[in-house]
Structures are given as C-alpha cells and as structure tokens.
Amino acid sequence: MRKTATVTVLALALGGCSMMEGKKIDYKSAGSLPPLEAPPDLVMPSADNRYALPGAAPAGATTYSDYTQERGARAAAGMTGVLPQVDKVRVERAGSQRWLVVDLPAKDVWPVVKDFWQETGFIVNVEMPEAGVMETDWAENRAKIPQDMVRSFLGKALDSLYSTAERDKFRTRLEPAGEGQGTEIYISHKGMIEVFEGTQSGSDQGKGRTVWQPRPADPELEAEMLRRLMVRFGVEEARAQGLIAAKAASQASLTKAADGAPALVLPEAFDRAWRRVGLALDRIGFVVEDRDRVAGVYFVRYADLDAETAKEKQGFLSKLAFWRSSDGKAKAEKYRVSVADKDGGSQVAVYRETGAPAADETGNRIARLLHEQLK
C-alpha cells in the first residue's frame, strides 16, 4: 500500500509538469545538452588585450561561483555595485523587433549586462568584447513548473523530478549608437524543445527516444528581457513596461534587385534598416564574421550551431539548415547581405562571397528567412 501511494504521488507530481504558470521568469542553468554540430572551419576570433575588461574572467565560460567571488571582492574593496544612474534609456522598435539605446559608452554597459544575465540565472558562456557579443548557456525557465500542492508536499528533496521540455539561451549584441551617442543593446532568443521520436507501441516496439530540436525565437521573451534590463539601468518598473509594450508597424516586402539578387524593401532609412537586419541575422542563426557599415554590408556564414543533428528524418526545421549538404555533411558558405538606401527607404539584397548575386534557391531562401524576421 505504501509503495502504491508513493508511486501515485510521484505520478501526480510528474503530470503537473505539463502545466504552465503565466509568463514569469525563473531561470536555472540546464547543464548540458546533446552535442550540437557546427559547420566546419568555424573559428571564433580570439580576444585582444586592448578590449580586456577590468576584473573579467579569462577566456571561457564565467561561472556563478566566479561571479559571487568577484562581487564579494568588490564589496570588500568598498565598491557598492550601485547601478549606474542613466538619464536616457529609450526603446527603439520596428515591427516585432525592439532594442535599447543607453546613454553610456559600451565599456560601461558591458559589465552591467553581464551582471544582469548572471543575476537572472544564466552562465555567461561566450564573451567577445571586441565584437560586442555576449551569449548565455542553455537554461530552463523553472517558472513554467506549477507550484501545486503535490510539489510543495514533496519538497525540495525531489525537486529535480520536475522539468520542462524547453531550454532558452540569449545573445546580446552591443553597437555604438548613431553618431557615437551611447550604446545600442540587442537581445536575441534561441530556443530548443525536447520531442519524442518513435512510437509507444508501433514498429519500433516502443523504443523511441527524446531529442532536442530548435524552436522559433520568441520576440515577447526578448521584450521581457529588455524590460528587465531597463530596470537594471535604473528605469522605473511602470515606465519600462509602458515603453516596451508600445508597438510600431513596419512592413517588408520581397523583391529582386536590379542585378537579379534576391532582395527585400524596407520602408525606413538606412540606419534603422541596418540595425534591424543585424538583429534578424542573430535570430536566424547566421554568424556575422565581419561588417562594413560604411558600405552597408554584413559578411555572414550560416551556422545554425543549435540545430539538433542526430535526426535522420528531414523535417521543416532541418530544411532551414541549408548549410547541410545532401550527404549529411555540414556545408558552410559565405554570403554578403547588403543594406542600401533606395527610394526613401532601404533595400536588403543577398550576394555570394564573390559579390555575384545569389540568384539561386539558397539565396532566395536566405531572403525569405530575413523577410520572416523583418515583415
């Protein structure tokens, strides 16, 4: 009887995991996921000592213990860690995209953003100050697990039994604002979901397995992180909520450039279009190897580092990983994404590494992926 009651309680506890609780955020590092494949020859640039941040950890991930030790040392030295007093923090938006503009230089924004992610429950896994890029590890939003009576009864001893089938990570990109007035902060979300492959009682005799697959970026989750970051920079809760909630309509349409390159037309000036394209590239999963703002060119390589590669069946999401060749081997090609003024708006066109129009299925697919993010 006692064994039956225990099993019943555990079943009820696990059953409650399928429920969600609002849009609260309570992240906890997820540890590790199955190995994810990267295209060949993809090497991250090494940092330059010129850009080393005072007190920053050496190359590699920054753990929470390192973070707490650093905070303790700062407190012992009389550094209170008070948030910077920023008079001007505003939200820029276009369609579903939002980003912050902070009236501070990037060198002062970087440590605040790093503290923000660590206090939110993430491990900072990638730091590239020379490129203005910071990326977290994968983490689970524990707030999606219901706080029901069964969980309370079992207590923290069995808390590890509760888990969600989703993981999130975030990339933060810093860029100088127009005319060098402050810093722009872009946050892009990547998600993974655990799905079951096989059948419970079919031809595979129930020997299915679970695998991690990409799930679409969540613009509202990005907006929530921007709102919290605004508060971290000293903006009042209510004001930050109002600024993030406002919407702005923006249209993008597919077309062809005069030279035949697949292209999009945006009804906005170059500066805004340039920023929106950069955020779209982050969301899709392109690696921006270089950029030339004067010429209006992003030099990119498609590298969906978070794609689950063990799948043998080609689904919709796997078709988007067009760097993979037909024999299953990774294929990474370089492209140029050009942004230019056109007829009072902007045109975004896709070219090959050589500068020739990417007027093939791959080029058209890149344009369609950008359109999904910019429309």
CB 92 within 8 A of CB 99: yes
The 8 Å CB, 24+ separation contacts for 253-257 are: 253/371, 253/375, 254/367, 254/368, 254/371, 255/347, 257/347, 257/349, 257/357
CB 217 within 8 A of CB 191: yes
Residue 171: other Cβ atoms inside 10 A: 18
Residues 172-231 pLDDT 10s: 999 888 766 799 999 999 999 988 876 655 555 556 678 888 888 888 899 999 999 999
Average pLDDT over residues 74-101: 68
Average pLDDT over residues 264-271: 91
pLDDT at 275 over 50: yes
Residues 33-68 pLDDT 10s: 444 444 444 443 444 443 344 444 444 455 556 655
Residues 330-347 pLDDT 10s: 467 899 999 999 988 999
Please report which confidence band the pLDDT of residue 312 belongs to, taking 50, 70 and 90 as the band edges: very low
Q: How far is CA 241 from CA 91, 216, 238, 292, in A?
A: 11, 24, 5, 34
pLDDT at 326 over 60: no
Please report which confidence band the pLDDT of residue 165 belongs to, taking 50, 70 and 90 as the band edges: confident
Q: What is the DSSP letter of 34?
A: S
pLDDT of residue 248: 60
Query: Is domain 15-36+50-248 given the CATH code 3.30.530.50 in the classification?
Result: yes
CB 158 within 8 A of CB 13: yes
pLDDT at 143 over 60: yes
Please report which confidence band the pLDDT of residue 250 belongs to, taking 50, 70 and 90 as the band edges: low
First to last CA, the chain: 60
Pairwise CA distance, residues 59 & 170, whole Å:
19
Residues 112-122 pLDDT 10s: 999 999 999 99
The reply to whether 250-375 shares the fold of 15-36+50-248 is: no
Q: 250-375 — its CATH code?
A: 3.30.310.170
The domain segmentation of the chain, as residue ranges, is: 15-36+50-248, 250-375
